[in-house]
Amino acid sequence: MATKQDFVDFIIDQIRNQDKIRYKKMFGDYAIYYDNKVVALCCDNKLYIKPLASNIDIIGKENLVEAKPFEGSKNWFLIEEEIENSELIQELFESTSKNLPLKNQK
C-alpha cells in the first residue's frame, strides 16, 4: 500500500521549522528531509525515523519499536503510539539532522 499525501502532510504540519523540510516521493512512499538530510521515511502510512543512538534516548528504550520500512531494508525506528506528539517528532527530526553528516563532506 502506498503512502497517502495526507499522511505526509500531517507529519510535515507537526514541524515548526517548515523552511527546513522537504520530501520526495519514491516508489509510492516518501523520504522526508530536514536540513537537506534524510531523517525519516513514510511507508505504508507509517513514520520511520533513521535509527541513531541519539534517538533512542528521545524515544525511550521502553517505547522503541524497530521495523523494516520496506522489504530488503534495514530496521528503522517506527513511530506509532506517539505519531501525534509534535514535540517528539520535532525533536527527532532535529536530533537526526544534527547527528548525520552532510553528504559529500569529508
| CATH code of residue 22 | 3.30.1460
pTM for this predicted structure:
0.91
C-alpha cell at 51: 535509527
What domain range is 33 assigned to? 5-98
**Residue 103: which pLDDT band, with cuts at 50, 70 and 90?**
low
**Residue 106: which pLDDT band, with cuts at 50, 70 and 90?**
very low
Q: What is the pLDDT of residue 101?
A: 78
**Residue 1: which pLDDT band, with cuts at 50, 70 and 90?**
confident
Instruction: Evaluate whether residue 106 is within a structural domain.
Output: no
Among the listed residues 99, 95, 63, the one whose alpha carbon sits nearest the alpha carbon of residue 81: 63
Instruction: Evaluate whether residue 104 is within a structural domain.
Output: no
DSSP string, 3-25: PPHHHHHHHHHT-S-GGGEEEEE
User: CB neighbours (10 Å) of residue 81?
Assistant: 9
List pLDDT tens digits, range 55-91.
999 999 999 999 999 999 999 999 999 999 999 999 9
Residue 71 CB partners (closer than 8 Å, separation 6+):
none
Q: How many domains does the chain have?
A: 1
Among the listed residues 43, 12, 14, 50, the one whose alpha carbon sits nearest the alpha carbon of residue 26: 43
List pLDDT tens digits, range 21-62.
999 999 889 999 999 999 999 999 999 999 999 999 999 999
DSSP-assigned beta bridge partners for residue 23: 32
Instruction: Evaluate whether residue 73 is within a structural domain.
Output: yes
Instruction: Evaluate whether residue 59 is within a structural domain.
Output: yes
